[in-house]
Structure 1
Amino acid sequence: MIKLVDRWQFSLKVMAMYPGRTLVLVLAVAIGVSSVLLLTSIGEGARLYINKEFNSIGSDLLIVLPGKKQTSGGSLPFYSTTPRELTWRDALAIKQLSNVEFVAPINAGTALVSAGNLSREVITIGSTSDFLIVRKLVLAKGRGFYHSEQQRIRHEAIIGSKLKKSLFGDARAVGQWLNIADRRYRVVGVLKERGESLGLDMRDMAIIPISSAESLFNSTALFRIIVSLKQKSREEVTKQQIINLIKQRHDGEEDITIVSQNAMMDAFNNITQVVTIAIGVIAGISLLVAGFLIMNVSYISVVKRKAEIGLLKAIGASSNEVQLLFLQESSVLTIIGAVLGVTLGYALVFTSNAFIPYFSLAIPLWSTLTTLIVAVLISIGFTWFPAKKASSLDPVIAMRGN
């Protein structure tokens, strides 16, 4: 019977005797493992990025959308024709509800914004002073809108830092005039540098009072209404109150859809998790390729080492022990390759995060553990038949090398 220590020593000596084979197998496994980890880190990074964006604007928000959701069971709503549009007056009515703290009606469109000879076409949002609060936007310079400016057409604007840089450079923007479409607006505030939030670049946008936006876009229809709650625990009650209120104001028609921030975040999480698993499985094909390589090399090894196998069986090694020797060699090579692959994967992620800090990759723990286990199982599975063939060799014939 071959002792465990002897088996390990034997495996290490064999690997040293065939350095080329050892290097190829280790690299094949390492590349497969690192590929899986790198691709799943992209999916996990996307999930964490989305969560960070949602958390940055709070989890106590409700988004009121025009149109009634017509499908069930899906995450993305499809809407029917809206009998009546959501208006600023609807938003004012919602704000009177007991559990509502802030309400930001949004009238949005794209418009050409210019100052002097410089111009940019950017998203222009019409809203109230509550918009800065619910979106957690901070002013670097100037002020927000006064309540009185929301109720009458005031040609005043708050601009993002990127838009300010494009139009005014390093000069002071607050107090200066710019054109939005064919209207003149005075800059009263500049947003602090923040970047994109849920796909909306806050640096490259203009915010004007809701009443001015209605005049600019010649429409009182709202894109959506963002509602901030006082107590998150009363979210469902407040949602029903909003539905009943709008139904009453819209001639008995339930023509809105209310989406909570948490529901949207859960939907995105589900999507990114499925995508992460899918790309992990696709990347796992590289491990299968490594498995076929291990099997072919193992078959060649059996042919080359017939005399050695015959000698082992002649001195008393059983067929099971011979088979176990080959499986152990393969497992050791796979473990070395897997550890190298994990190290390489984490190193690539660390390097990526250093150069691209705004989108951090993250390797989920389940991906690391699953990849290691699958790599070892693939190694054992693909080495099984070559090892079985080695164990079934007749010792006399094998020692002749035939």
Structure 2
Amino acid sequence: MSSKQLTDFLSENLNELKSKGLYNVIDPLQGANGPVITIAGKEYINLSSNNYLGLATDARLIQAAVEAVNVYGAGAGAVRTINGTLDVHVQLEEKLAEFKKTEAVVVYQSGFNCNMAAISAVMDQNDAILSDELNHASIIEGCRLSKAKIIRYSHSDMDDLRIKAKAAKESGLYKKLMVITDGVFSMDGDIAKLPEIIDIAAEYDLITYVDDAHGSGVLGSGAGTVKHFGLSDQVDFQIGTLSKAIGVVGGYVAGKRELIDWLKARSKPFLFSTSLPAAAVAPCIVAIDIIKTSPDLMGRLWGNGNLLKKGLQDLGFDIGKSETPITPCIIADEKMTQLFSKRLYEEGVYAKAIVFPTVPKGGGRIRNMPTAAHTPLMLEKALSVYEKVGKELKLI
């Protein structure tokens, strides 16, 4: 029999989420996560995927996964430090290091795991972390796990970062100081001011940490935000994901050889979690080669992003200050955001509502993600639905 305390807690809090428009309904897909998806037998134009370059459904990646299963089996069978390191893990790490222009890379089971692993392996209760207030939840959790003092600075506000870095340095309270930022902010699509951050870090001897999950495959000829700014040799930690532009699953940390050696010796997700199966690793290797040799993929991504942005702006929607293909449509009110998403769904466009705690309260939005796999016709059809629903709900 379930505990009455637990039953009461769950009932009360789930009902509260639903009443405030903060409850998320999960829709299982019947098939692949491409530009058009099938849910409950109906097709939808998909604007909610992070499959930026369309590689999740690429035949070359699928073939690599199939071949890897036949050679290595379904699972890796152990953690990396026992006998769960396959030769394909090493190949992927070497390819990523060359791609990111760093000395070495270590691969993890997810981008979230990277931030849980890397921050706490280096920072502790004697240290302080300067963290952008809009950093991803995995960064926030990684910082908490480290037990370091967390000093939040206003979003991309370099004056605020400088003031707080100076105060932390001059206080003499901390053994090490780190500054952490997303490369591209996933809910707004804006790009971190990395050149200024690097200057401030040099002035106050800050360890630099960039989570480039949404910049990889999108900026810097695919290598990400750090390369975009020409700073590959000046950032201590580069975090990346294998589940967005790469199109598969996993994450990685890129940096100096000694840093990667330390993470392999001390980061808990590496030490205590079974490694990625070869069927996930092999297609990542193929995906990196495709990104390096197919600049047209990024061109299509950006072209589709610009088409959708202009269309939404021309209709009168607020798309914020995005500098990347990520295109938020900001509604603000949580209940209206949920209703707007529901009506888009009913009209054949899958564009999920994003509300608290993913974004601040009062910051409800539809996060649109056009990909390289969309056609202009798909996006024009989605814009016509946006116009119909926007006028119906008196949002435009």
Bigger Rg over Cα:
1
Q: TM-score range by the shorter chain?
A: under 0.3
The structure whose residues are more often helix, as a share, is 1
Q: TM-score, normalised by structure 2?
A: 0.25
